[in-house]
Amino acid sequence: MLENPYYTADVHKDFTLISIGELALEEGGVIPDCTLAVRTWGTLNEARDNAILITTWYSGTHQIWADAYVGPEHALDPEKYFIVCVNQIGNGLSVSPHNTADASISASRFPHVRIGDDVVAQERLLREHFGIERLALVVGGSMGAQQTYEWAVRFPDKVLRAAPIAGTAKNTPHDFLFTETLNEQIWSDPGWNGGEYASNLDVHDGLARHSHLWATMGFSTEFWKQEKWADLGFASCDAFLSDFLEPYFTAMDPNALLTMAWKWQRGDVSRHTDGDLAAALARITARVLVMPISEDMFFPVRDCAAEQALIPRSELRVIDDVSGHLGLFAINPAFIPQVDAALRELLAAQ
C-alpha cells in the first residue's frame, strides 16, 4: 500500500468503504476482497423505487458529483431520491493498485478490469447492501457513460432511465488511440518502473505530461481561444496549467489511471451480442437521454448521435458548452442548468 493524500477523506468527503466480497473478473483475474467507495445522499423510500445510481469517470470520483451535480437545487435531489455514487474499481478510492492490502493484486499485479466488472460489482452492491432491485436512473459522464450503457444493456429490467453524458456505448478507435497516448506519458517516465514505484511523486513528470494532453484534447480549441480559463480565476494559460491541470493529475496514482484507461479503451456493450452494436442497443428498455457535449474533441456529438439512433426509447440532447469534454467539471455556469433540465425531464417521464 502506498500513501497518497489525494485519496483520503480530506479531499474526498463522506464516503464509505463497502466490501462486496470476491469479484471474479471477465478477463479471468480475481479481486479477492472487492471494496467499493460509496457516497450516498437521501433516503431509500419504502417502495425502493427512488434510487439513482451515479457512475464515475476516468480520474474522477464521487466528489465532483457532490460539489456540482447533487443537491436540493438540482435534478439529482436528495430530498426526492436515494442517490448512490459508486467509485469505479481502480479509481484510487475503491479497490485499486495502490490501496489494496492484498499483495497478490497490488501495484503492477492489479488485474485487468472491464466496464462490465464494474457494473456487476455495482449491481451486487445495490442489491445485497441496499436492497435495490431497480434504478429510477443511471447517470454518468465519459467512462461513467460507458457504465451507464453497460447497465442498460446488461440489466435492462433494472434500469428505468439512463443518461449517458459525453460518452459512448462502444469505444471508438480514435478514443483508444488518445487513451494510449495518455498511458504512454506514464509508461515513459523512468520513475514509473513497470508500476513498481514508491510514490506517485516518482512519476510526477509523466503525470504532468499526461495533464498536458488533457489540455489539448479535454478542452476545445475555442476554450483556449476565448481564454475561458480567465472565467475560472486564472491569470494566464500557463497558470491554468501549472496551478490547476498539473497539480490535479500529478496528485493521482499512476497505476490507478492505467487501470481505468485499460477499461475505457475496451468499453463495448456489443460484447453481449457477438459484436453487433445495434443488437446490443436494441436490448435497452430504459428511456434514454443521450447527452454529448457540443465541443467534445474525443466523444464528438456525431459518435453519440449514431448510437442514440439505435436505442429504442431515446432522444439526443446536446449540451452546448465551449469547454469541450471537461465541461463535465461544470466549469461553465451554463453547463449544470442544461444537465438539470434534461435530467428533470427524464425523471418526470415514464
Three-state SS at 16: strand
Alpha-carbon distances of 252 from 135, 148, 261, rounded to whole Å? 31, 24, 13
| Residue 43 within binding range of a copy of itself, rule CB under 8 A | no
| Residue 204 within binding range of a copy of itself, rule CB under 8 A | no
179-198 residues in contact with a copy of itself (CB under 8 A) are: 180-181, 184, 188-190
Residue 44 C-beta: closest distance to a copy of itself, Å: 41
Residue 171 C-beta: closest distance to a copy of itself, Å: 11
Q: Provide the pairing of β-strand 314-316 with 161-165.
A: unpaired
Comparison of 117 and 189: residue with beta carbon closer to a copy of itself: 189
Question: From CA 163, how far away is CA 287, in angstroms rounded?
Answer: 9
Which of 178, 244, 249, 329 binds a copy of itself (CB under 8 A)? It is 178
Could you tell me the three cell numbers for 238? 500557463
Tell me the CA end-to-end span of the chain in Å, nearest whole number.
47
| Residue 237 within binding range of a copy of itself, rule CB under 8 A | yes
| Residue 92 within binding range of a copy of itself, rule CB under 8 A | no
Residue 265 C-beta: closest distance to a copy of itself, Å: 12
Number of residues engaging a copy of itself in binding (CB under 8 A): 34
* Piece in contact with a copy of itself (CB under 8 A), picked from 28-36, 57-65, 152-160, 167-175: 167-175
Q: Which run of H or of E encompasses 181?
A: helix 173-187
Q: Which long-range contacts (CB under 8 A, 24 or more apart) does 272-279 make?
A: 272/153, 272/154, 277/169, 277/170, 277/307, 277/310, 278/310
| Residue 231 within binding range of a copy of itself, rule CB under 8 A | no
| Residue 65 within binding range of a copy of itself, rule CB under 8 A | no
Comparison of 91 and 220: residue with beta carbon closer to a copy of itself: 220
Residues 6+ apart with CB under 8 A from 329: 64, 68, 323
| Residue 325 within binding range of a copy of itself, rule CB under 8 A | no
| Residue 302 within binding range of a copy of itself, rule CB under 8 A | yes
